[in-house]
Every structure is written in structure tokens, then in C-alpha cells.
Structure 1
Amino acid sequence: MALIGMVYVIARWEEKALVNAASKRGVGIKPIHTQNLHVFYGEKNGMPPVVIQRSISHYYALTTSLVLESLGVRVVNSAKATAAANDKVWSISVMVRKGIPVPQTAVAWSMEAALRAAHELKYPIVVKPTNGSWGRMVALADDEEDLRAILEHREYMPQPEMKVHLIQEYVRKPGRDIRVTVVGDRAVAAIYRYSSHWITNTARGGKAVAAPIEGDIGELAVKAAKAHGLEVAGVDLFEHPERGLIVNEVNPVPEFKNTVKVTGVDVAGEIIEYLITIAKR
């Protein structure tokens, strides 16, 4: 029986790298494709003792983790940690309670309340959905007219979560942010993501450059991951012009292709080594 399982929706570069890293270490890894999976509660049916969650769909990741955990499978990351990281209200709330610095943020449950919050924060402001990644559905409002247009669009969407508005300060970054990859209790690699666009994300065309993991960068990233209960995470940091390093977001299913490309760090190997350690406990 395979020692490790990997739940996934699409086999991207990262998932293939994890399979290769396991193979190099002589460890069996069982790919578990969600669309081909059905599970009866109470029946483990040869499921590996440890599973890495790599589903890009938040709901697939959450539900498969919950079901596998009910069978006694050790899932990395856990369902609770995944849910906390993927829900921005939950995530920010967790970090604020732990004293982790985040952008100044207000949550509003109506258009009128969101407009008042933006007025207090001062324009420009950023409007975010309560869940999502790759910068999707994130908008910049330069003034009240912009914000009204954004909120009116959101208010007409049928999903109830689109009527919960995250209103956040616009952080004037130095043309970059920092993505730190955390495995276990260590920051294993970091990159600066440069872009002329205000969303500095390599999925949106940002350029990756190696960054240091020593000192405050690594320490803050590990602290943020642990606050959520995450064992493998991508932590996005901003360099705030007045407050220094702050945490923007935490990703429970991080991409790391560009990190490997510019740092040379074997991130997949680090993850597999961590999973092997758990499986052999």
C-alpha cells in the first residue's frame, strides 16, 4: 500500500513534482483524482495513512478532507485549517486574535455600510471577496463612484457571500510583494513578486525573484501559517511603508513552480520529506 496519498483536481506542475519527489525517495504515492473518487463513510478501502490535499477547488478540498479525516486519515492540510485559510474573514480574524499584523480591514454587510467604511479608511481602497485566489474578484476603488459600481455589481450576484464586503486599505508596496513557502514549522523558500500592476501575483504576470527567508520574513510567515493550523502554506507578505511587514493572505494549497525556478529549492522534496516523517510516526 502506498505510504502517501495526494488528492487533486488537476495535475499541475506542482502535483507532478510531488509524485517525482516521492519516487526519488522510493516512497509510494497514490494519486487520488477527485472526479474519480467515491467514499463510503466508515470504509477506508486502502486509503493511505497520510494524504496531501492539493485540490484547487476550495469546496472539493474541504469536503474530501472532512470525509478522509472521518476515516482516520491524516490530511495535510486539515479540513479546519483549509477552511480558515480560504475564508478571508475567518483568516483575518484568526490573525488579528494572534497579534499578526494585517492590512487595515473593515467588514460590511451592506452597500451603505461599505461606503461608510471606505470613507473612514480613505481612498483608494481595495474590495475583496470572502474567498478566492489568484487575485480574482479583487478590485481597486479610487473614489466613491468606483466603489458604488463595484458594490452594485456584487449586490446583484446571487451568492450570499458576495454581499459580505471586505474593505481594505490600499497598501502602497514598493512594486512587489513576498511569497513565502512554509513546510512544517519552517520557511523553506521565498520570492519577491514584482509587477507594474497593483496586484503583484505571478499568476497575473508578476516576475519572481529570490528573496531571503531569514529573520522577520520567515518568522512572520511561519507564525501566520501556524495561526491557521497549516502545515504546508504559501504566505503572502506586504512591505507596508509605515508598519513594516504585514500578512496579506495565506494559501493552503500553494503553487511553487516559480519559487523552485528562481530559488532552486526543492519544495516538493521538502513537502514529501515532511509527509514521510508524519507517516512513520
Structure 2
Amino acid sequence: MKNIIYALYMLVIVLVACDPIENRDSIGGAISADQLDVTATPIVVNGKKSNKIVLTNNSPVLSSWDYGLKISQKQCDTILMVVPGNATIAFTGLNPDGSKITKDLQVTVDELTYPVAPQWGYLCGSGQKTWVWDETASSCFGNGGYLGNNSPGWWALKIGELDGQAAGEGEGASMVFSTTGASLTKNYTNGTAASKGKFDFDMSKTTADGNGATWAQGVLTTSNVTVLCGISINEGKKNVNSYDILSLDNDKMTLSYHAPGTGGWGEAWFWLFRKAD
């Protein structure tokens, strides 16, 4: 029964594929990777390859397109790349017999013709960027007043004092933000293996201070990893995975966290980073 349902599903895919499919193997057969008819084509605007890519699968297989940030499982789709340059889109096809076939498609983006959030470039550069503590600031970690301070205003630590709070995450430690899988990798200095997870941001989640001015310009979230010293010390050093973005540009980033229910001038924590040299 399961095979019959799958065969009917594949028949529907063939009938509604982006282009007519001719001379294909019969339903139930399997094709090889060199028989795949799949393309990834940038839309050209004013003679330049834009960051809008048209994905087309004219083969009798189910689709999975891994383009770094996300995975599309549509037969045909249009996606946006968030940084210029060369990129690989990995296609995986699922045959009716359950076997998988793969093909890498190379694309080049000349310019970001179609708008994307600039924070991708701020965080990841042209594909990945390394961030470290901002030792040029008067302090780079500590607490202060929620909605009142923009950096540690009460208990403030310099870079040489951070290992006492999170071993291996002080001076010399780093974070790498990458557009590949929207990944965040934290590198330690004490021999601990690097930890890796994912990140996302939402710049619609702004926060105003008591006077109505913008205090936080968005929210950064992480999963399976935190930023360096990403803990709430007075909550049992629990991991923090959601941060207010107080400032972010190509060179510097300031993040903050407050416990749920915190009011103005209640306790907030602050992290100050800069891009690595």
C-alpha cells in the first residue's frame, strides 16, 4: 500500500513539474546522479547576476536543496542568497525506491540586487566572520540597568577577568558566525572542543527605553550554543540563548540580556564584542 501511495505521489510530481518530462524511466525505477536534470540559475539584472536564484528540478525525484541558510524541499523554488560571491547549492534527490542521489550546483552572485537584512553581512562578512571580546572598551562584560545602560554600569569586567566566570571563554576565545547553515561556532582557550550551534535574528523585535527612544534594535537567538560567556550569573549561571541587540555594525556588537519580568533599571547583562583583526 505504501509503495502505491508513493507511486501516485511521484506521478503527480511528474505531471506538475516545471517543464515537461520526456523519456523518463517508468514510475518505480531509479535514476542516477548523472541523469539529474536540475539547475540553479541567478536572475540577471542589468547584466549582473543577482542574489535571487531560481531552482528547478525536472527529474522524477523528490527534492532537497541545501543553499546554506535553509533547505527547500520544493520541486521548483526561488531563493535569496544573503552575501555576494561564489556559493554551492547541494541538491539531494530521493528516488521512488528510496535511494538518494546528489549533485552540487555552483552559483555566482555579483551583487545583492534584491534586499536582504544587512545584519547577515555585519555578522558573517562575505560568508563567515570571527568575533572576539572588545578589549578596547572600558569593560566588555558585566551588569547594569535594563533600558538605562548600554554597557556594564554596575559590575564591570575587563577581558583578563572573564575566565573566572566561564573557563576558556575569556581573552583569546572567539566566535565564528557563518552563513553556511546559519551556524555559530564558539572556540575556547582551555582545550575544550569547539561548540557549534545555530543563530538567527529578528530586527522587528525592537525595544524602547522609558523615553520612547530605541534601546534595542532587534533580537539575536542561538540554539545549542551561546555567545562567549553567555550566562546569567545571578540565575545560577544558566545559559542565555536570547539577546537584545543594542548595536551591531561591521566592526562592533553589543548584546544584552534581562530576566523575564525585569522592569526599567532592573538588572541586565551586557556583552561587548568586536570583529577579529
Output the TM-score relative to the length of structure 1.
0.30
Larger-gyration structure (1/2): 2
Q: Highest relative contact order (Cα 8 Å, sep 6+), 1 or 2?
A: 1
